[in-house]
Structure 1
Amino acid sequence: MTSGFPDDYFKRPTVARLQDHLDGGTDNYRPDRDFARDLITVAPWLPASVRVNRTHRPRVLACLAREYGIDQVIDLGCGLPHADNRHLPDEVRRMVFVDADPGVEAHARMVLAERHGTVSLRADLEDMPALLAAGPLVQLDRGRPVGVLLHDVLPWIGDGTVPTVLAALRSWLPAGSVLSVTHATTDMDPESMTALTRLYGGAGIGFRPRSGQQIRDLLTSWVPLEAGELLTTASWRRPTHLHPRFDHSHAYAIFASPGDRTP
């Protein structure tokens, strides 16, 4: 390992660089581009899905700031910084970008230095106690609500880790906080999702899309803030639902509160 990067880091695809390439970015390498072609072969809608998820983020930040009065936010599994990262709502005064990928953290430090109130942190969701004890999170005001983005993260971590992550967050978050989740789903194109899971697995990357009911079950201890049916990422807070033919998100968006933290 050199300078914090695994020896094979630039020789194999990574999720963050794949997402960057699928979104039209340039912070990626040949292994990412070659593998992305295979992914698109079985799921032609994948680039559109990545773009939908990325454009969902600024709408969520605006909602957190203007409807819930939240001005401090943690972006867990933030991925490579996009131009959108530089245009946060004025009301967001503190933003902590967290990712386990050393390449993401290096880019984040460079890009996010341009905006006052943003900070990056390299941390792994596999070790929630260490993450929650890190300086940038300790410096947040836990006497006030905190927003947490968990966008396109849960499908990439192990089944045994997801409950631990959610339970740790629920215990740590102050009253009035809001969790925003997006999660790839098998509900819309199960055949393609199965093929994607198989391809990712062959590359040593665990990918776990879930049904809407499975996603609800993960969040059973949380209080949903938007009643009714699960909304796709593309249709969340839209005046009308997209026809399934034109909804390429293949993911659900959920807003939830930690509630009173009773067992």
Structure 2
Amino acid sequence: MSEGDKIRVMIVDDVIDTRDQLEKLLFFEKDIEVVAKASNGREAIALARQHRPQVILMDINMPDMDGIAATEAILTNDPGIQVIIMSVQGETDYIRRAMLAGAREFLIKPISADDLYRSIRHVARLAMTRPIAPVGAPGGQVPGAQPTVDGQIFAVFSPKGGVGVSSIAANLAVAIRQQTNKKVALVDGNVIFGDLSVLLNLRTDKTILDVASRIEGLDRDLLNDVMATHPTQVKVLLAPP
């Protein structure tokens, strides 16, 4: 974003007073511009295609289509958009669902003006460090740029606990590492009852909480510092004990 450009923001919330209040808070910020407002997830998807905002303030609980489903649909169409999830509830499950959907930040209502400005500017800066290929570029590559090799994400999950999800995930990570000799990261997404540390016999005082508390400084060095290393050379981001 060059000097003088404004951060294009879309507000998505089913409560009209909340939408208007957020718009008023942003009105006097010279580097921020509200380009659209939506009352539900389906409307947000359509307006995102039309206005192409850089940042979306997305309420998590809305009728017809909630913020999680809308975020997934929007980012599938345009992964360069930065989504900030808003909720009156700050439970771990809400935060986990928002992160899995692709949200970059999570704000708990009522949101202070300072937190709102900081979050919008922070995710906008993050977007600047992640170049996105222009629409229509063959193979998703920027013409003239060096080709890049993307990684793959495998999600292992079950609607109920105690069925062996952690065992499958741990063995899958080790098998991929041994058969491909490529870098493999294993993330324990169960922040309440995660047990990969037990299955892999790993002892460390650093967990996913260290990433969450330092999210503004997230980079390769921080992840290398926080993730434990299994004897098979699989990197593991553990859940809190």
Same fold (TM over 0.5): no
Name the TM-score, length of structure 2 as normaliser: 0.27
Of structures 1 and 2, the one scoring higher in RCO (CA 8 A, sep 6+) is 1
Name the TM-score, length of structure 1 as normaliser: 0.26
